[in-house]
Structure 1
């Protein structure tokens, strides 16, 4: 058992949210019970995740995508009312960390995606150094962008979108999870042979073809399934708490 404020301090000490100018509040978004025994982690604070956490008798939920974002109306109606009502009814704490969870050098989304794909980061790029730049952990190269995309599909159990301008070997790889398609130009400038992220927008296909750098979109959710359980599991172990990762499938 652990006190909620101590667990919050542990998350903050680990992820350093004050370093980031983010799209919403990082940290404790909804206050629940003071004594914690069981933390559930997931990607997004959806109604389905909250319902699963209730069924698991969780005292706290740790997510990457919380409830509150810049530009929202500020009203508690519809889906917001449903999610908040369930959290408050069961006195469940909600912790959410967005960019700080992406950026953590060993437990964050980028680091954990690299671990999942057998990639080793050797540098960073982009705003707040969120993008990772590296290579295969064994020092080798992928024979082609198609070979890299097939490897990603196998590891993530999801077929990625591939824009591959050439059949050349892929050695220098850049990646940034989620909706980081705007980082593609910075990845090109950093000398990447391929860029991996979650989503693709219209301009990236043209940049890939014109600049000769492969663009691979493996799914926003699929690319961000690994940081939340790594961080929540780390902090839960620190306090001797139970931890369960619940993956609510999302095709996006």
Structure 2
């Protein structure tokens, strides 16, 4: 059993959470019981994830997408009120890390998908960033766009959307998990052959074609399953607590 605030402090320090300008607070968002024996991790703090934490008799829910996003209304009512009520009634903490969990060089979403795809020699997608949110890396051997799409399909088990350009070979790949489709321009400026993110916009079709970068939308949820699991497993080893992953497949 571990102290909640020791766990949060370790995460904050490990992920360098205070060095990011983010869209929501990173760290402890809802405070529950002081001692933690078991955590459930999930991509998003949905009601299903909260119910899973309750069913598992967990003391905390660790997620990538938490609450209190910039621009949201302040009142704790409706869907969000119902979710927060469940945390409080069951004395369960909510711990969330957004951009720090994308960027971490060993626990993060980006490095996790690089490992899965077999991309090597990671570089920053934007060299001006202190903690790069996106990355560039390389395949050992070049692949055709069709071969690369098939590879991604087998890894993410997602209906990959490929927006093509004229290039016939892919080796240098830019990537940023989640909803980072607009970083395709950065990938083009770094002469990437392809760029991977989770979601896609109408404009992305034209950008891929005109910028000369193959774009692959691999799913917002599908590309961000991995950081919370790596972080939860690190916490389990560091604090000798139990960690369980909850998966609710989101087709977006």
2:48 is matched with: 48
- Is 1:129 the counterpart of 2:147? The answer is no
1:218 is matched with: 218
Distance in 2 between residues matched to 1:121 and 1:86, nearest whole Å: 44
Q: CA deviation at 1:30?
A: 0.2
Distance in 1 between residues matched to 2:24 and 2:37, nearest whole Å: 27
Distance in 1 between residues matched to 2:233 and 2:180, nearest whole Å: 25
Q: CA deviation at 1:227?
A: 0.4
Q: CA deviation at 1:167?
A: 5.4
- Is 1:153 the counterpart of 2:122? The answer is no
2:142 is matched with: 141
Q: CA deviation at 1:100?
A: 0.3
1:110 is matched with: 110
Provide, for residues 78-102 of structure 1, a one-character-per-residue CA deviation record: whole Å limited to 9, x for no partner: 1111110111111011100100000
Q: CA deviation at 1:202?
A: 1.9
Q: CA RMSD in A?
A: 1.1
Q: CA deviation at 1:122?
A: 2.3
8 Å contact from structure 1 (residues 47, 83) kept in 2: yes
TM-score between the two structures when normalised by the length of structure 2: 0.96
8 Å contact from structure 1 (residues 111, 121) kept in 2: no
Provide, for residues 25-77 of structure 1, a one-character-per-residue CA deviation record: whole Å limited to 9, x for no partner: 00000000001000111100000000011101110111000011000111111
The runs of 5 or more residues in structure 2 that have no matched partner are none
Provide, for residues 226-248 of structure 1, a one-character-per-residue CA deviation record: whole Å limited to 9, x for no partner: 00010111012100000001111
Distance in 1 between residues matched to 2:240 and 2:6, nearest whole Å: 13
Distance in 2 between residues matched to 1:19 and 1:190, nearest whole Å: 25
Are residues 231 and 121 of structure 1, via their aligned partners in 2, closer, same or farther at CA, if it must alter by over 3 Å?
farther
Provide, for residues 136-192 of structure 1, a one-character-per-residue CA deviation record: whole Å limited to 9, x for no partner: 2xx2121x1121111111111112110112351101011100000111100110110
TM-score between the two structures when normalised by the length of structure 1: 0.96
Distance in 1 between residues matched to 2:146 and 2:196, nearest whole Å: 13
Following superposition of structure 1 onto structure 2, how do residues 1-252 of structure 1 map, counting pairs within 5 Å?
1-126=1-126, 127=129, 128-136=131-139, 139-142=140-143, 144-166=144-166, 168-252=168-252
8 Å contact from structure 2 (residues 184, 213) kept in 1: no
Provide, for residues 204-240 of structure 1, a one-character-per-residue CA deviation record: whole Å limited to 9, x for no partner: 2111111221000011001100000101110121000
8 Å contact from structure 1 (residues 114, 121) kept in 2: no
List, as ranges, runs of 4+ consecutive aligned residues in structure 1 with deviation greater than 3 Å.
none
